[in-house]
Amino acid sequence: MSDIKTALLAQAIETPSWAYGNSGTRFKVFAQRGVPRDPYEKLADAAQVHAFTGAAPSVALHIPWDRVDDYADLAAHASNLGVRIGAINSNVFQDDDYMLGSVTSPDARVRRKATDHLLECVDVMDATGSDTLKLWFSDGTNYPGQDDIRSRQDRLAESLAEVYDRLGEHQRFLLEYKLFEPAFYTTDVPDWGTAYAHCVKLGPKAQVVVDTGHHAPGTNIEFIVAFLLREGKLGGFDFNSRFYADDDLMAGAADPFQLFRIMFEVVRGGGYTEDVAFMLDQCHNIEPKIAGQIRSVMNVQEATAKALLVDRAALAAAQSAGDVLGANGVFMDAYNTDVRPLLAEVRAERGLDPDPMAAYARSGYFEKIAAERVGGAQAGWGA
Ligand code: AOS
Ligand code: ZN
Ligand code: ZN
């Protein structure tokens, strides 16, 4: 089997539990039929994505949206379904207490509450066998002078250090940055540089996660990826597409060329390993959710296949000869290759239907859950 096929067979893309629940914008949540009523049903839906793609073996949880009494039981349920628990996502943004921030709040009581929640998430990791904690802070300010920018960095560092010290030997946390929203003047972790600086200070168990929707328009995300990989600080991705801000649309839908360029840097930088988590962070507000996840996994696979197809030797030769058009041509040849037949072969070799979208549609799973599940839950956003 070719090296490219072997690499594609090894790719694992994590789906988020919140993608399966109802979601929407601040204007309207459109309820869909058959959505999960609890975390157990979210895992069942995620298992379908894995069953038809063979490439989505883990599921990210979100605490408290996926809070259960017995996490070991939830992990066993996942394993019975053929998937496992992936990253644990913390939530320090939905309580009234967090109006002025969580770990950076000027109020010590609120900071304590937020850090305690992060520590609770590490307990969930222990109970589920998850090795990754994902930290996203909505913290920031809306008005100049509202709070002291530098003190907020001190408070952030203090909380991160406490969480870092609580991590077990095989656990890590990924610090996520986001330019703006919900804060509109300052954000306490607005960019990769801020996240990187905090992670470097803490040590090897702290890494940066790149959410592809969290940058200013025009930002060269692949440069950030190349830089972080070179420093050993790229922990993973939250893949999604954006046209405007943090749109959370399906990965590879808005700009498949950008996704290819990112995946090329991952391959080039040796990040195509289990250490870099390929996660989806998406909401399917108007399209069916399970099928939307399947499509997204396929889009990431297509970008990856194209990245693996780049003739690196020819590229290096053109680059060192200063052959600008030649180098660009090698790069574009790979991008313009139709990799769908190759991926169909990879799926067939795995014993899967070469067309996951059609196979899922034929399976009758959606009709089954639509009939069985009444009163499905909102994903969490705005809940
Ligand atoms: C928020 O904008 C971030 O993208 C988070 O990664 C993510 O959506 C959240 O953790 C899910 O709660
Ligand atoms: Zn994210
Ligand atoms: Zn986001």
What confidence tens digit (pLDDT) does each residue in 53-90 have?
A: 999 999 999 999 999 999 999 999 999 999 999 999 99
Residue 271 confidence class, pLDDT cut points 50, 70, 90: confident
| Nearest atom (ligand 1) to Cα of 381 | 12
Q: Taking a C-beta distance cutoff of 8 angstroms, is the pair 102, 135 a contact? A: no
pLDDT at 382: 44
**Does residue 145 sit within a domain?**
yes
Q: How far apart (Å, rounded) are the C-alpha atoms in residues 199 and 316? A: 32
For 6-62, what is each residue's pLDDT tens digit? 999 999 999 999 999 999 999 999 999 999 999 999 999 999 999 999 999 999 999
d(CA 85, CA 70): 14
Look at residue 128 and tell me if it is in a domain.
yes
Question: Nearest ligand, CA of residue 210?
Answer: 2
- Asked if residue 199 lies in contact with residue 206, where contact means CB atoms within 8 angstroms, the answer is yes
Identify whether the C-beta of residue 219 lies closer than 8 Å to the C-beta of residue 262: no
- For ligand 2, an ion, list residues with CB under 5 A: 211, 238, 281
User: Cβ contacts of residue 12 below 8 Å, gap of 6+?
Assistant: 55, 56, 57, 58, 274, 278
Q: Give the number of other Cβ atoms within 10 Å of residue 7's Cβ.
A: 16
Between the CA of 240 and the centroid of ligand 2 the distance, in Å, is 8
Does residue 278 sit within a domain? Answer: yes
Q: What is the pLDDT of residues 202-258, one digit of tens each?
A: 999 999 999 999 999 999 999 999 999 999 999 999 999 999 999 999 999 999 999
Check residue 215 and give its pLDDT. 98
Report residues whose beta carbon is within 6 angstroms of any ligand 1 atom. Answer: 18, 62, 89, 91, 136, 176, 178, 211, 238, 246, 281
**What is the pTM for the complete model shown?**
0.97
The pLDDT assigned to 135 comes to 99
> Which CATH number goes with the domain that contains 216?
3.20.20.150
Q: Is residue 319 one of the residues assigned to a domain?
A: no
Asked if the structure places residue 306 within a domain, the reply is no
Ligand 3 center to 182 CA (angstroms): 10
Q: Sign (positive/negative) of CA torsion 216, 217, 220, 222?
A: positive
Which residues 6+ apart lie within 8 Å of 325 measured at CB? Answer: none
- The residue range of the domain holding 188 is 12-300
Is the residue at 2 inside a domain?
Answer: no
Task: Report the number of distinct structural domains present in the chain.
Answer: 1
Find the ligand nearest to 121 CA.
1
Residue 346 lies in a domain: no
**364 within domain boundaries:** no
For the CA of 134, the nearest atom of ligand 1: 10
Residue closest via CA to ligand 1's atom 8 equals 281
Q: Whose CA is nearest to atom 6 of ligand 1?
A: 136
Q: Which residues surround ligand 3, an ion (CB under 5 A)?
A: 246
